Amino acid sequence: MLSARKKSARKKTGKPEKLQTRLFRYILLPSALVLACLTVLFCVYSSRLLIQREQDTLQTLSDSIKNQVENKLNGLDNVSSNINYYNRKHPFLTGQMNTDLNTTRGRLIINYLQIANGLDYKADQINLYGLSGSAIEMGKITKNYSFTADEVPWMDEVLDLKGKKMIGTPYQTTRYSTGNTDADWYLSLFRATLDSQNQTIGVTETIGTCKHIFQSILNYQNTADNPAQICIFDSSGTLIYPYQTDSSESQRYGSYYSVVKNRKENSGSLTDPQTGIHGRYAVSVSQYSGWTYLILQPNAVILQPVYQMLRLILAAALPLLLTSVLVSLLLSRNLARPVEHLKHVVQRMQLDTLGQERITDYIVPYQELDDLYQQFQIMSDSLHQSLQELETAKKLELNSRVLALQSQMNPHFYYNTLACISILAENGETEEVAAMCQKLSSIMRYITNPEESEVTLEKEFRYLEEYMYCMKVRYQDSLRFRISLRAAMREIRIPKLSIQPLVENAVKYGTGNLPPWSISVDSFMDENQWYVTVTDSGRGFDKTVLQQLRQRLADVDAHPERSWQN
């Protein structure tokens, strides 16, 4: 019962653990566990603190950028409001949209526009559009020109606002560029132009460069070490900033807006829908422009100080950990070395070396191991003696089986051979008689020699040739045979008469049909084994007999210890 319980426990627990491994783990585990816990606590606490601080920073940055950009927009708005105010007090625009700017009246209009723009030039360009298709431009370009409805698709929408502002989206144009300069990006603010009777007489467009309007963002991104991603969207979700983007980037930024637009909180965590990068965000919505200011910062940037400190901790802890590993290794090896030594002694023990190594000559520091060594030596000596007795019994059994095999040789072979000799003698074929007698004598000498229980394949095949010679004389042209032995297999030793019974059966069962008959004995080798095959031209085995034979061979392969008993 106790033995059964031990076996059951072994099956449940699997392979036993090494003593040195367990000692090493128990010594090293406490220090490694303490270090890991402290590191994890530090990372968690620092990460939460940094994320909270970064969240506050992002919110402050979002509000600050919103205020600075809105201030630029407010400047454009004030210019258009001032133009309306001056025109109400001094109707310098009513009916004057087609006035030649080179005239006195035209220069007066330009002066009023410059006064409305202020000394700090809040607008880089001011365009006045009349309802009849005439327009005045002042700023980077100052001139009169005519326009068509296709050139001002926003006109009807602005007029419907009845004097309220409308902020456009960034666009790129070379219209206001001078010389060979490239196209620049601009943003327009539109407002219907009113007279003293609040009647709409046209539209005022105040234009600012995107570099000027978003100057605060550009300065931040150029000076910050790890600048956050800044996105600005209008009330319909159209991307305002960054304005220099392709369609794929605009779609990516639009996915940010889709994520945060329905959230009630102004800050929190955000995962990039396309890249899967985790980060934090802060949102500020302007009541003045209707724009949404979104600031994003990846967690990898926020937690960079934690990562740096973690690397420092690991660098400092590595020598300590290596020292702990070394001490643990030395202690565990010192305790496990005697057991390991005994394992190597057992591994060196082979059946042919049992009893040669005296393990009791080794000095061990522990009494328990010394007792174990003594018992192992007794077991080794006992096994050595038992092995010798077994080998002796095997040799005797082999000799007995060889003698039994020799005595079981088919006597018909001798009768038939002697009958052939008699016929040859009657026919006067003296040379054939002499050859047959010589072959039969050699066969009898080979079979009856008690001193050879094992022979080489070369000698066994020579015997087969003599045997088949006798069969050939008996069956004449009705029997053809071929015997082939590879040179590399000549010195392989086998029990005597191992192949002869196969050839004898081939002659017996291979001649049961009409002649001619053929028998072949071949040999070949592969990387692991060598083979001898006997092939005849008979009808072959019955399926039932062949199945029984294969089953018998499979049993012998599975239980080689039973081969001598069957």
Query: Rounded to whole angstroms, how far apart are CA atoms 46 and 52?
Result: 10
Q: Say yes or no: domain 18-348 is CATH 3.30.450.20.
A: yes
pLDDT-derived band at 68, boundaries 50, 70, 90: very high
**pLDDT given at position 8:** 45
Q: pLDDT tens, 345-397?
A: 776 666 666 666 666 666 666 566 667 767 777 777 777 777 777 777 676 66
Mean pLDDT to the nearest integer, 173-184: 77
pLDDT interval class at 5 (50, 70, 90): very low
Q: Which amino acid is at 500?
A: Q
Residue 564 has pLDDT above 50, yes or no: no
Give the pTM.
Answer: 0.53
Residue with tokens 């973690």: 310
Q: List, in order, residues 6 or more apart from 524 with CB less than 8 Å away.
A: 486, 530, 531, 533
Task: State the average pLDDT over residues 307-316.
Answer: 77
| pLDDT, tens digit (0-9, with 9 covering 90-100), for 70-119 | 999 999 999 888 888 888 777 777 667 777 778 888 888 888 888 888 77
Cite the DSSP H helix spans in 349-429.
367-407, 411-426
What's the CATH code, domain 409-562? Answer: 3.30.565
**CA-to-CA distance for 13 and 342, rounded, in angstroms?**
24
pLDDT digits (tens, 9 = 90+) for 194-234: 887 888 888 999 999 999 999 999 998 888 888 888 999 98
For residue 546, what pLDDT is reported?
Answer: 79
| Rounded distance between C-alpha atoms, residue 129 and residue 149, angstroms | 11
Q: What is the pLDDT of residue 411?
A: 63
Q: What is the pLDDT of residue 449?
A: 74
pLDDT at site 190: 93
Q: Which residues of 355-372 are buried (b: 16+ CB within 10 A; e: fewer)?
A: eeeebeeeebeeeeeeeb
Question: Boundaries of CATH 3.30.565 in the chain?
Answer: 409-562
Q: How far apart are CA 339 and CA 345, in angstroms?
A: 10
Average pLDDT for 63-67: 91
Q: Is the dihedral of CA 222, 226, 231, 232 positive or negative?
A: negative
Confidence band, pLDDT 50/70/90 cuts, at residue 6:
very low
Residues contacting residue 42 through CB under 8 Å, at least 6 positions apart: 309, 310, 313
Q: Per-residue pLDDT for 50 more than 70?
A: yes
Q: pLDDT digit string (tens) for 409-451?
A: 556 566 667 777 777 777 777 788 788 788 778 777 877 777 7
- 203 beta partners: 129, 192
Between the alpha carbon of residue 51 and those of residues 38, 44, 223, 256, 301, the distances in Å are 20, 11, 22, 19, 10
The residue among 442, 452, 445, 444 whose CA lies nearest residue 402 is 452
| 3-state class percentages of the chain: helix first, strand second, coil last, to nearest 5 | 55, 15, 25
Q: How do strand 517-525 and strand 479-483 relate by DSSP bridges?
A: parallel
Domain with CATH 3.30.450.20 in the chain: 18-348
Burial class for 352, CB neighbours closer than 10 Å (0-12, 13-18, 19+)? exposed
CA-CA distance, 237 to 261, in Å (whole number)?
9
